[in-house]
């Protein structure tokens, strides 16, 4: 063993010890892997250190993204790469404009409206996954599940604390608004969720109904109007059109009520 090799071995042992103390074990692997390349190509000490730390940060970000995606509660992880924009060509430009995540920094909302099967949940999930990869905390649930969660917090006398905690999430996704009508108490709880995030943090909502039909969902025209006002004040509203993507190969051109819903969206 040459002195150079021996010195390098001792240095890597020290790096291993220090990396463990820093709880950054991947630094050891990166340092060993890059050492010979750094010597052969004449890197400066600064170049070598930057390269090792860059790989540690990238690995941490990837690991953090996986944890945030897992914690978000998506029914299934979907991305924009998986989405068939040929089925929804009008959505391509507005959705791609949201991928950067600028709307999250501005505390803007996104509303996806359209008949069943047109890709609302897929797009909402994909935007949520993109947000998680950018470092934002995300939570996903159906409108009914959100109301159940808030109702349980209310029953424990913890509603205000729960709304405050949820506001720490950069993005909350509310799927399937309008699939089931809400009782008055449920509608009030949902309004409080929307109101608590107004100009503080972002929402993505999906609905099979146009805004004009939301009064029937929430059972109160005044509550629905106040809620819609807060949602759309700072929002991108994207209308998805057409027949169900899921039925495209089943010989079924449309579902009951889709024509009426589409005319309302138009």
- Token look-up 């929430």 returns 218
Residue 120 has pLDDT above 50, yes or no: yes
Task: Report DSSP letters for 130-198, one per residue.
Answer: HHHHTT--EEEEEHHHHHHHHHHHHHTT-HHHHHHHHTTSSEEEEEEETSSPPPHHHHHHHHHHHHHHT
Confidence of residue 187 (pLDDT cuts 50, 70, 90): very high
Q: Is 107 left (phi over 0), alpha (psi -120 to 50) or beta?
A: left
Residue 12 has pLDDT above 90, yes or no: no
Q: Is the pTM of this model over 0.85?
A: no
Return the higher-pLDDT residue of 61 and 40: 40
pLDDT (average), residues 14-21 = 80
Closest CA to 111 of 204, 12, 226: 204
List the single range of 49-58, 164-173, 252-261 with lowest mean pLDDT.
Answer: 252-261
Cα–Cα dist 259/14, whole Å: 69
Residue 113 has pLDDT above 50, yes or no: yes
Closest CA to 109 of 211, 192, 201, 228: 201
- Token look-up 């790469």 returns 81
Distance (Å) of CA 155 to CA 15, 132, 150, 189, 235:
53, 31, 9, 12, 32
CB 141 within 8 A of CB 176: no
Hey, what's the torsion of the CAs at 263, 264, 265, 266, to 10 degrees?
50
Phi, psi dihedrals of residue 109, rounded to the nearest 5°:
-105, 165
The pLDDT of residue 10: 78
Residue 88 has pLDDT above 80, yes or no: yes
The pLDDT of residue 1: 35
Phi, psi dihedrals of residue 108, rounded to the nearest 5°:
-90, 160
């Amino acid at each position: 063993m040459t002195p150079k090799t021996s010195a390098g071995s001792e240095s890597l042992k020290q790096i291993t010890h220090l990396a463990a103390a820093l709880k950054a074990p991947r630094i050891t692997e990166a340092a060993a892997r890059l050492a010979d390349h750094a010597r052969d190509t004449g890197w400066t000490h600064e170049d070598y250190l930057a390269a090792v730390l860059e790989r540690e940060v990238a690995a941490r970000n990837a690991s953090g993204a996986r944890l945030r995606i897992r914690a978000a509660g998506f029914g299934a992880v979907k991305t924009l790469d998986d989405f068939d924009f040929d089925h929804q060509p009008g959505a391509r430009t507005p959705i791609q404009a949201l991928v950067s995540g600028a709307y999250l920094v501005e505390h803007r909302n996104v509303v996806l409206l359209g008949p069943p099967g047109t890709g609302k949940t897929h797009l909402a999930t994909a935007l949520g996954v993109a947000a998680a990869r950018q470092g934002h905390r995300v939570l996903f649930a159906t409108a009914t599940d959100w109301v159940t969660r808030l109702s349980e917090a209310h029953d424990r006398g913890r509603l205000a604390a729960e709304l405050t905690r949820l506001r720490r999430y950069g993005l909350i996704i509310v799927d399937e608004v309008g699939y089931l009508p809400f009782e008055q108490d449920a509608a009030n709880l949902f309004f409080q969720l929307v109101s608590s995030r107004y100009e503080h943090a972002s929402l993505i909502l999906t609905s099979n109904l146009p805004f004009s039909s939301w009064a029937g969902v929430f059972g109160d025209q005044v509550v629905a109007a106040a809620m819609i006002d807060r949602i759309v004040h700072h929002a991108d509203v994207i209308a998805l059109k057409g027949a169900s993507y899921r039925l495209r190969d089943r010989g079924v051109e449309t579902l009951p009520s889709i024509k009426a819903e589409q005319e309302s969206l138009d």
